[in-house]
Structure 1
């Protein structure tokens, strides 16, 4: 019998699944045909399965304590909050961006605020998806706006780098318009020898490192081809997405995409790139791949430590809807091997602070997960968070009418 594709439907018990041919899976009155019962073992090894059903969530209840407080921000009267980013190593202060182009430094304990700058719409489009990134020393801010429109209306994905103490614009973030709207603008801050550096895209397939104070490029390429390499080798073939620096600044990771399209997660050695090989993101030996997905590359991820990285959406659980079943996978940073995966965390929120924090599918509760066991430890009802404040261990929820609710957790 020839092997044909079908549906692998998880039944909510561990990793158990039933294997169905396409006809049985789509039948109004569910049934198994002879092919389903007789050939699923061979088919599982030799053909592509659509993924469906529900995974079992492992539960190990643990007691957590949550508190709730509210703060009213006068600056939000008549304005809409577009993004909020906490300052580094600071328990109370954050930078807010509002729909009138205002950048504000706000104390989330007492509500006091200072306007840092006003950015005209022609520089940062307020109707785009706004992302704020703050440097480790709290001196610099990168702000990007991803405006996705139909092709004939002109999408864009651009940004600015500012000095937070003066509000001065230091750099423009612009990597052109060649499909840049398909992912978050690649930008991140790092530290090297006590100095803040900026990593950002300068073309659809090129990343560079800059001194944000001067705009000097620290990774110049002096030709269009890397030296002593394959004649077909050139710049990276991936569109990079969001960037994240490892805890000690040694490596940098991203989830981008390549034609046809396929999402790809990978990292490379940031220090080697800066000090030795300007072509490291393109063809460097330190580049390690972790996961890939057809037609999907918007997975959130975070560094656990220098040796492990956690990525949302196990690649083996990719559905016909181009989004994996709710899950998380942990990878060995150096080898690229998947260490483990577990079911349950959603794409709605994906934060790390000792535990993995996510939300329910409906986004009406915070969920807490143990990374070692993959178990759900606790659920706490609240709205979908805008962001997380690691300094005070609080989730920020926008209640509207100028009110922010902050939910703090402890053991």
Structure 2
């Protein structure tokens, strides 16, 4: 069910990106102007990331999802009423507030429902919703826009959200409250979550005290330098295909989903690989790193392919490799909060990492608009290729060993 919520989250999010060439032409937006609109979404998203984890830890997963999905549903539909750039920016800001709650909420639900050895694969299933949504969005949104007008496309995700949240309200419960969960199943989940370093059940660490732990700073570094890669892909790919490759809206709908299909494969394989290694007796530390390092090194290879090809097919292939490698990387980074903290702190730690990711993505988005207006996409891809290896080095140096926090760890 969380995977379905995430699919809709990304359909809503991708609608502007797919329609960007059309909306930019109608509103007379430059690359820099478009980057500011995207940044308003990221601003709302980042503010919400800083708060949503704490909200979810306080009110719970079930109520938290209902709150955040309701906000983004209303905001998504309001896009259809935008008459200028200012209104579009305002609606993007509110959409960001709502959509940010999906990720700490999903991470918290996974921590509640799965033992440690199964979490990476569980995370890959829900995180697969983002890539599935990104695959579905281009053809569906392009079809609706071409046949009915671009404003109608903003009702697709909102309508689906209303249906799914009705089902969520009636069927989702935590393991301790679920009426259909057997005692054996509940014991299996609980046995895989008990760690000697955990704080007593129900006792959340004070938010500021989380920053004393190197595990938090490792997550901050990893997400600060790699999340902008994904935001670049989902926000700028249709614009790149139009301006650099000469694609129209129909071609964007026909081909822009391909990199996100490979992203889905990377997400599932990255999560499955580290989970399989743990089941075969590898430590969490060794299993996660065995996937993280190769994934980080594949991204520069994809960038080289993009920069040194003259064919559309090879450019799509290079972008697909970047998307594959990023998702294989990020699905394992997403498990770090639940690998290293007790479940009552997971939402807060995930939210801190998301805040760092949002700040970096805002800065990078504004930089992309400035660079593309003055030069081309070439320098941007060079930066993309350098960011993942840098993130991997910083993660290793700060984290050292992936392990549970201790009460006096620094």
Task: Give TM class, smaller chain.
Answer: under 0.3
* More helix as a share of residues: 2
Q: TM-score, normalised by structure 1?
A: 0.25
| Structure number with larger C-alpha Rg | 1
* More strand as a share of residues: 1
The structure with higher relative contact order (CA 8 Å, sep 6+) is 2
